[in-house]
A and B are shown apart, each in its own frame.
Chain A
Amino acid sequence: MGDYVRQMPHHGSADLARRPGLADRFHIDLPLLLLLMALTAYGLIVLYSASGQSMGAVIRQARYFVVAYGIMILGAQLSLQRYMRWAPWLYLVGVATLVAVMVAGVGAKGAQRWLAIGGFRFQPSEIMKLVVPMAVAWYLADRILPPSLKYVMVSLVLVGRPSALILQQPDLGTALLIAASGLFVLYLSGIGWSYIVGAIVVAALSAWPAWLFVLKDYQKQRILTMLDPESDKLGAGWNIIQSKTAIGSGGWDGKGWLNGTQSHLDFLPESHTDFIIAVLAEEFGLRGILLLLALYALILLRGFWIGMRAQTSFGRMMAGSLTLTFFVYIFVNMGMVAGLLPVVGVPLPLVSAGGTSIVTLMAGFGILMAVSTEKRMVAH
């Protein structure tokens, strides 16, 4: 009965009779758009304070958002079939550019992440956040799900190759996000729980060799610092101590907008980028945190909802993976600033200053919107 029934709108003739609105015509998921815009506004308000009341920083960020929203809307217009057709080629080009970065990349802060093309600096690892799950979803979409071991192994290679390259840059945060986004696809494809549990056990067992052979000294230092920030009060522990102080001193009510002393007196490092949540917590208190978490939770729920309602395996897996990746951003960033997780370079999604992550995230939401309107495309 599947396809036949699904062509009938759930809510009967009223839905059929309704003329498609502007949002429908442009494949916009209105609830998601409104939530994203609320989050954007909230983020800009916090950024104004965190950047030391720099209108310039806010305008720069707003400009990124304009571009990012544009990309999102453009992304929503493309059909999922097109994404599927592009996926393998995008993947090959992506891996190739990662290799190019290794060979001819531009360094910053001791890491090679950028590729300069005609004066335009470009970070291929960012695009891979979208391309890797897309490639895995493309690969699995036409298989019988849950996939057999062979397909799982190929998927793991698809995920592992770019992740390893990015880990070598070195950029642990991005590598983790990319690996996670690919693995989420596998998870959503329905691979057996035994695989998942097995993988967790292997990961736990390989932690010690990883500590010895894979992690760089600065990465180990970050983990040690997270476990005991007081051990290096003025060095690596400084950031965590200061951000915890900022968060804790906000209390329930917060110190008020523009009144956060920790950030305004420069005690808080990276206050407008990775550590911006501390400014929010200091100035708006736990109330502000609850509001932010509520916005994030609604966006996540909408993402999951879109996935559940998607028509094709590819759409489903993309929607779920993008949503879960968005969650990883939130969890890792909020956790690291509060001293729950080691410090890895993961921004607070759509709030931290910085154009690259905003563009990638919004492009992801564009794909999500393409998934959400897929049904209607089939219907018409």
Chain B
Amino acid sequence: MPQHIALKDPHRESRIYSARTVAAVLAVACALGAVLARYYSLQITEYETYRTQSERNRVQLQPLPPKRGLIFDRNGILLADNTPSFILSVVKERVGDLDATLAELQTLVPISESDLEKFHEKLQRRRPYEAVPLHFRLTEEERARLAVNLYRLPGVVVDAQLLRHYPHGELFSHALGYVGRINEREAFELDESDYRGTFHVGKVGVEKYYEDMLHGDVGYQNVETNAHGRVLRVLERHDPNPGADLTLHLDIRIQQAAFDALGDRRGAVVAIDPRTGGVLALVSTPGFDTNLFVNGISTADYSALRDSLDVPLFNRAIQGQYPPGSTVKPFMGMAGLESGLVTPETTVPDPGWYRLPGDSRRYRDWILRIRGTGHAPKVDLNMAIAESCDIYFYDLARRLTIDRMHDFLLPFGLGVRTGIDTTNERRGVLPSTRWKREAMAQAWYPGETLSAGIGQGYMLATPMQLAVATSVMASKGLRHTPRLLQAIDGQPVEAPLLEPIAASEMNWQAVHEGMLEVVHGRRGTAKGLAKDIQYRMAGKTGTAQVIGIAQNAVYNEDEVAERHRHHGLFIAFAPYESPTIAVAIIVENGGGSSAASPIARKVIDTWLLGEAS
């Protein structure tokens, strides 16, 4: 082109512009088409997915934890109730920085290490948007402090829940057990849906044994929530079924009497009504405040309990296994009479010691070191029980042999778990040749039979077993599986009956008379108990060695360290004519049975007369 004239050409510009506009319209149409396709895909193709998601967003299924059943004593006194408690929980999804929030909360509320540990544990197995409890039982002041700061702590929730409370704390610690926060292992074992919204479960004792009844059935509600988790309205509600209220045979008066009588000594008291098998008292001292465990016990409190020499967490009444000592003698007497080896008139010469034929070793009677001689030249069954003559029972044991002794004592409940409705019961030891072969892979020695005859050696029994045996003795052979539970929601339940011991009335009478003499006889080993007594009591004293005593050594109480002193035992039932209570008592390192027998008097007085003497 020779010359280019720089002139605007409106026509050409307009044409170019129109072409550009057409291209732009096409591009716009494509882009809007793509947007439309996107909305079509979301709203039509994937409609179901998003509808479900929106529904799930909106509607939340919330568990309604059931109210845990209450526990009453036989008089209707509340032993375990539920008190409203404010809980601090955290919804992790709504918290920005969890660590910062926890640190912030720690400045407002004392959150313990175990709180945090449990919190993180539970955090692992929560559902999305589920509130995880961090701290239980907020005080008024803590609640107020939180309320002021809640606005800047998203995801932090304070709400009320009923929490287990034990109004009598230590008094019933071993009788009831306690609930505690569900731990990882329990969470695995429990029915997950049944325990949604429930943070606690029975850990030991009645609380654990009757967990299914006490827990009740979980309810739920469908609620519409907003994105902040606030419930806007309830769409559907299924109320939870509260747990059953349990009434126990326990009598708070007897429990208190036993607890007071034990005082600060270590020991256990079990009382059973022989007519029903109901457990009237189950005390083990020292106890502990079970309320500590409900909220998650602090490490310091727990190690103090765990490391105490007095082992307060140990339930001596059902877990403590002690040599029954002379308390086994009435049962041995029954064995002798029923086996036909002795009659009430049979006598044994008592020089104060006993010697097995062909053996030079002398088995001494306890009275030898006091009087230098035996109880009497000739001792019969009545005197043997009343004065706790060892020689009589050495001779009887030898003639009975260990295996027949085992067979006769077994129905009294020794050597087997009584089956009481609580947890962690131990079975004791009722030795036999077979037992020794299996447990120790050793043969039985004849001398061991003599020890067993007076409740020493291998023989071990729990206070519960002794109380059951005493109850069977008192009721002349009536056998129950002992029961703490008396009624469920007011409906009485019976203790399971076992096959009774069929023995002759004369034989029962003979042994009973011996036990009566223990308390009321002139030379009874517990004759002090009969002072000012308003009823007749049958009993038997016992002493259990803690350390072995060499052949000729003389045992001197004062010289032995407190924890090496003998355990004092006592079993009793009353009223003699028609017994309504059988008790077994052990006082650890009490020195002798005199530490235990006054406790029986107080317990039985309370039961029969309404107050301790």
Interface residues in chain A, defined as those with a beta carbon under 8 Å from any beta carbon in chain B: 2-3, 142-146, 187-188, 190, 234, 242, 244-252, 261-262, 265-267, 281-282, 285-286, 289-290, 293, 296-297, 300-301, 304, 307-308, 313, 316-317, 320, 324, 327, 330-331, 334-335, 338-340
Contact = CB atoms under 8 A, between A and B. Distances in A.
Interface string B10-51: 110110111011001100100110111011101110110111
Contact of A248 (B10, B21, B50): B50
Interface residues of B, number: 44
Contacts of A338: 35, 38-39, 42
A323 B49 CA distance: 37
A330 B112 CA distance: 55
A320 B17 contact: yes
15 contacts: A144-B8, A188-B24, A248-B43, A248-B50, A252-B43, A262-B54, A262-B57, A286-B43, A289-B36, A289-B39, A293-B35, A313-B13, A313-B17, A339-B38, A340-B38
Contact of B57 (A143, A267, A327): A267
Interface stretch (B180-188, B221-229, B541-549, B601-609): B221-229
B149 interface: no
A82 to B, nearest CB: 21
Given A289-B36, A324-B28, A267 B227 contact: yes
B54 A245 contact: yes
B154 to A, nearest CB: 12
Nearest to A338: B38
B137 interface: no
A336 B404 CA distance: 91
A313 B11 CA distance: 11
Q: Tell me the interface secondary structure of chain B in the complex.
A: helix
A285 B58 CA distance: 18
A2 B12 CA distance: 11
Contacts of A339: 38
B31 A327 contact: yes
Given A190-B20, A265-B226, A320-B21, A245 B44 contact: no
Pick from B7, B20, B31, B93 the residue with the most CB of A within 10 Å.
B20
B43 A289 contact: yes
Q: Which of A146, A301, A334 has the most CB of B within 10 A?
A: A334
Contacts of A261: 54, 57-58, 224
Contacts of B54: 245-246, 248-249, 261-262, 282
B53 interface: yes
A289 B34 CA distance: 13
B28 A247 contact: no
Of A265, A293, A300, A335, chain B has the most CB atoms within 10 Å of the CB of A265
Residue from B7, B16, B34 whose CB has the most chain A CB atoms within 10 Å: B16
A234 B35 contact: no
Given A331-B32, A338-B38, 17 more contacts: A2-B11, A143-B8, A145-B13, A146-B16, A251-B43, A261-B54, A261-B224, A265-B232, A267-B226, A281-B42, A285-B43, A304-B25, A313-B13, A324-B24, A330-B35, A338-B39, A339-B38
Contacts of A331: 31-32, 35
Given A190-B16, A265-B57, A293-B36, A247 B226 contact: no
A317 B21 CA distance: 10
Interface of B: 6-11, 13-14, 16-18, 20-21, 24-25, 28, 31-32, 34-36, 38-40, 42-44, 46-47, 49-51, 53-55, 57-58, 93, 224-228, 232
Contacts of B17: 188, 190, 307-308, 313, 316-317, 320
B57 A245 contact: yes
Nearest to A253: B43
A292 to B, nearest CB: 10
A290 B44 CA distance: 13
Contacts of B93: 234
Contacts of B227: 242, 265-267
A320 B36 CA distance: 23
A327 B17 CA distance: 18
A340 B11 CA distance: 40
B21 A308 contact: yes
A2 B28 CA distance: 30
User: Which of A187, A249, A250, A304 is the most central at the interface, judged by chain B CB atoms within 10 Å of its CB?
Assistant: A249
Given A2-B10, A249-B54, A334 B35 contact: yes
Contacts of B51: 248-249, 251
Given A145-B8, A304-B21, A250 B32 contact: no
A316 B19 CA distance: 13
B32 to A, nearest CB: 6
Given A261-B57, A262-B54, A247 B43 contact: yes
